[in-house]
């Protein structure tokens, strides 16, 4: 059934035409056959589309085909174990419902997220689930005008588009760094890769604690835009030690880096936790079975996925909960790699 547009609903071709100062037929032609429209007019129309957050509906000529069973999901990676668990929770949360997931991989790119949103919105999904809270202005505008439930996952904040479920990465960074200070470490470094906004908030939590303790030294921070891996963790720890030979602990932005740092310590005969303490983030299975076992911040990834779908199903059934922002928290799992005392 076609959705009626209210005053604050999704923009139409007519809205785009008014904003661009052209006729609706010209807008339609620019979308279908851009070569038949002058470059100046195309630019005017593109600007209007961007400002309004208009999404062309490729099903407009056959509204009966609009899908009422799609939950469109955007994640930054399909190979990262963190998001694999989130997706598993999403699938399990569907249960025996008629809903089905359509997955999109943004590759940590805001531009790709915008593109995928346009694709998914043209399919008229029942709901959208997107990772993080740092969408581009254009992506956020599309989400606000989507006309369906939207859930932002893996973080919490004060300004949800609609609904939100996750935890504070800043507080996670603070908690693990405070633990290192309490364990008696004083030259505490931060190692990070692919510093997306969530990673930056973890680093901000780290910095808040070391500054408060009078221990901050910019030379102890080692980051790279390179995608994370275990081998990169080895490389970054070598680099960190070359800069600061007295480094005695590292908070690694994720568990891959922490495991790599541990391998490098073992290779270089650096005792863990005696000479260097190591902590990670996310608490993947490998952290508990490493030798020595690795301290990490456990994040409730499966629960986030499952509860995100529950929020969608409640909204679609008209039983939306009054709490629009859900903080599932995290746990610090203290293990051998930081147990100095």
How confident is the model at residue 46, as a pLDDT? 85
> In the predicted model, what is the mean pLDDT of the chain?
90
> What CA–CA distance (Å, rounded) separates 155 from 316?
22
Token pair for 186: 């004083």
Residue range 13-62, pLDDT digits in tens: 888 889 998 887 788 778 776 777 788 888 888 888 888 888 765 544 33
Domain ranges for the chain: 1-54, 65-167+303-329, 169-299
What is the pTM assigned to this prediction? 0.80
Token pair for 177: 């760094």
Strand partners, 101: 71
How confident is the model at residue 55, as a pLDDT? 76
Strand partners, 278: 250
Find the mean pLDDT for residues 178-186: 97
How confident is the model at residue 319, as a pLDDT? 85
Q: Considering only the top CATH level, what class is 169-299?
A: alpha beta
Closest to 151 in 3D by CA, of 143, 89, 282, 85: 143
Residue range 212-235, pLDDT digits in tens: 999 999 999 999 999 999 999 999
Biggest distance spanned by C-alpha atoms of the chain: 74
Check pLDDT > 50 for residue 1. Answer: no
Task: Give me the DSSP letters along 295-327.
Answer: EEEEE-HHHHHHHHHHHHHHHHTT---S--EEE
**DSSP conformational letter for 5:** P
Vertex 201, ends 92 and 214: CA angle to 5°? 140
67: pLDDT confidence band, cut at 50, 70 and 90?
Answer: low
CATH classification of 65-167+303-329 is 3.40.50.2300, yes or no? yes
How confident is the model at residue 341, as a pLDDT? 65
| Contact partners, residue 43, CB within 8 Å, separation at least 6 | none
Check pLDDT > 60 for residue 4. Answer: no
How confident is the model at residue 24, as a pLDDT? 77
Q: 43 or 71: which carries more pLDDT confidence?
A: 71
| CATH number, span 1-54 | 1.10.260.40
Q: How many CB atoms lie within 10 A of CB 219?
A: 11
Find the mean pLDDT for residues 259-279: 97
Cis peptide preceding 123, ω within 30 of 0:
no
8: pLDDT confidence band, cut at 50, 70 and 90?
Answer: low
Closest to 72 in 3D by CA, of 19, 176, 148, 134: 148
* Equal fold, 65-167+303-329 vs 169-299: yes
Q: 9 or 209: which carries more pLDDT confidence?
A: 209
Q: What are phi and psi of 132, to 5 degrees?
A: 85, 180
């Amino acid at each position: 059934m076609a959705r009626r547009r209210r005053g604050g609903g999704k923009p139409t071709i007519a809205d785009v035409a008014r904003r661009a100062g052209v006729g609706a037929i010209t807008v339609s032609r620019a979308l279908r056959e851009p070569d038949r429209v002058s470059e100046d007019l195309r630019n005017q129309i593109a600007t209007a589309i961007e400002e309004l957050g208009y999404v062309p509906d490729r099903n407009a000529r056959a509204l009966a085909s609009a899908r009422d069973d799609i939950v469109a999901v955007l994640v930054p990676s399909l190979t990262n174990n963190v998001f694999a668990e989130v997706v598993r929770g999403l699938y399990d949360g569907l249960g025996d419902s008629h809903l089905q997931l359509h997955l999109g991989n943004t590759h940590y790119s805001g531009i790709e997220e915008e593109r995928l949103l346009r694709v998914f919105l043209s399919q008229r999904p029942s709901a959208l689930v997107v990772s993080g809270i740092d969408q581009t202005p254009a992506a956020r505008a599309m989400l606000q005008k989507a006309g369906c439930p939207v859930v932002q996952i893996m973080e919490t904040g004060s300004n949800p588009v609609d609904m939100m479920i996750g935890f504070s990465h800043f507080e996670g960074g603070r908690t693990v760094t405070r633990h290192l200070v309490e364990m008696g470490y004083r030259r505490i470094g931060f190692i990070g890769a692919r510093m997306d906004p969530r990673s930056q908030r973890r680093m901000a939590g780290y910095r808040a604690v070391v500054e408060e303790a009078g221990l901050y030294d910019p030379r102890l921070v080692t980051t790279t835009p390179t995608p994370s891996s275990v081998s990169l963790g080895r490389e970054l720890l070598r680099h960190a030690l070359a800069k600061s030979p007295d480094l005695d602990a590292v908070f690694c932005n994720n568990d891959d880096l922490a495991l790599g740092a541990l391998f490098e310590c073992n290779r270089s005969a650096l005792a863990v936790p005696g000479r260097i303490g190591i902590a990670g983030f996310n608490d993947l299975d490998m952290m508990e079975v490493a030798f020595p076992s690795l301290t990490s911040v456990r994040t409730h990834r499966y629960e986030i996925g499952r509860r995100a779908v529950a929020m969608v199903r409640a909204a679609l059934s008209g039983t939306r909960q009054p709490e629009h922002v859900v903080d599932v928290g995290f746990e610090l799992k203290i293990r051998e790699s930081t147990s100095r005392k």
